């Protein structure tokens, strides 16, 4: 292919832009914040699960506590009624003795139920304290995640800004390279990991970094300036520069 030297030089400038844009795309998806966010995200999900379980457990215990409270209250009401009857002194001596007897067993029953109530209350307090601890941890985690998301978004905005600046001259350069050379370049770029054109520097291909053999060097030396030459190793377009060492 024939393309004047200036167009070939433009191709190097275009390649530099494309390479930087590729690096920016890579950087966007490999931000350190992304890995950390993924890690903290799974920790948050774990804490959320634990919180749901603990809150469910607390709900169960609170129901148990209401039942225990009601049981105790029922016995207390009965005691109050019996005591009132006893205090009124109405009824036969036998009746009053029976009430006295019942009051004794009610007192025992009340003590038992109050023990149960206390035990349930202690369990409720323990789970409430667990929940408070989980919520505190989850809150801290949420703050760390929010800060990281801010860092990530700031870094993404920076990269987007850089991409816009770097990419700005791309279209003009592509037009200056010209359709035929650009088409060849794009074809090679696609099949060569993103680099379609490289400078020849110190007898070395800037694409594959291999030193050219004397035969190829001699061929390039004698080639016209506007002849598009390619690296025999990697097939990339080799652009001659003042540092080519020819
Ligand atoms: Zn090469």
Cβ atoms of residues 124 and 62 within 8 Å: yes
CA of 19 to the centre of ligand 1 (A): 16
Q: Which of 47, 56, 36 is nearest to 137 (CA)?
A: 47
Cβ atoms of residues 111 and 104 within 8 Å: no
Express as a percent the part of the chain with pLDDT over 90.
98
Over range 18-29, report the average pLDDT: 97
State residue 91's pLDDT score: 86
pLDDT band at 90 (very low <50, low <70, confident <90, very high): confident
CA of 17 to the centre of ligand 1 (A): 19
State residue 136's pLDDT score: 98
CA of 47 to the centre of ligand 1 (A): 53
Over range 174-194, report the average pLDDT: 97
CA of 204 to the centre of ligand 1 (A): 8
State residue 89's pLDDT score: 86
Over range 91-111, report the average pLDDT: 95
CA of 2 to the centre of ligand 1 (A): 19
CA of 26 to the centre of ligand 1 (A): 23
CA of 55 to the centre of ligand 1 (A): 65
CA of 117 to the centre of ligand 1 (A): 83
State residue 29's pLDDT score: 97
Inform me whether the pLDDT recorded for 162 exceeds 90.
yes
Q: Could you tell me the pTM of the whole model? A: 0.77
Which tens digit of pLDDT belongs to each residue from 48-74? 999 999 999 999 999 999 999 999 999
Which tens digit of pLDDT belongs to each residue from 125-140? 999 999 999 999 999 9
CA of 156 to the centre of ligand 1 (A): 33
CA of 235 to the centre of ligand 1 (A): 6
Residues, CB within 5 angstroms of ligand 1 (ion): 205, 207-208, 231, 233-234
The separation between the first and the last C-alpha atoms of the chain, rounded to the nearest angstrom, is 21
Which tens digit of pLDDT belongs to each residue from 209-218? 999 999 999 9
Cβ atoms of residues 24 and 166 within 8 Å: yes
């Amino acid at each position: 292919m024939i393309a004047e030297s200036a167009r070939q030089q433009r191709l190097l400038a275009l390649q530099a832009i494309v390479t930087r844009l590729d690096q920016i795309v890579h950087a966007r998806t490999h931000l350190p914040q992304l890995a950390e966010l993924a890690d903290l995200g799974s920790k948050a999900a774990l804490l959320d699960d634990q919180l749901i379980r603990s809150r469910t457990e607390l709900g169960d215990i609170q129901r148990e506590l209401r039942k225990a409270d009601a049981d105790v209250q029922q016995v207390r009401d009965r005691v109050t009624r019996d005591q009132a009857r006893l205090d009124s002194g109405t009824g036969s001596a036998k009746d009053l003795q029976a009430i006295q007897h019942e009051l004794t067993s009610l007192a025992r029953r009340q003590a038992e139920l109050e023990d149960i109530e206390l035990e349930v209350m202690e369990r409720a307090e323990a789970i409430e304290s667990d929940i408070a601890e989980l919520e505190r941890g989850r809150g801290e985690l949420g703050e760390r995640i929010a800060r990281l998301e801010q860092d990530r978004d700031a870094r993404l905005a920076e990269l987007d800004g850089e991409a816009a600046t770097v990419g700005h001259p791309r279209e003009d350069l592509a037009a200056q390279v010209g359709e035929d050379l650009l088409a060849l370049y794009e074809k090679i770029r696609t099949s060569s990991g993103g680099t379609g054109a490289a400078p020849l520097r110190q007898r070395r291909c800037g694409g594959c970094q291999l030193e050219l053999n004397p035969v190829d060097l001699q061929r390039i030396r004698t080639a016209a300036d506007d002849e598009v030459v390619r690296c025999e190793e990697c097939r990339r377009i080799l652009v001659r520069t003042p540092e080519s060492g020819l």
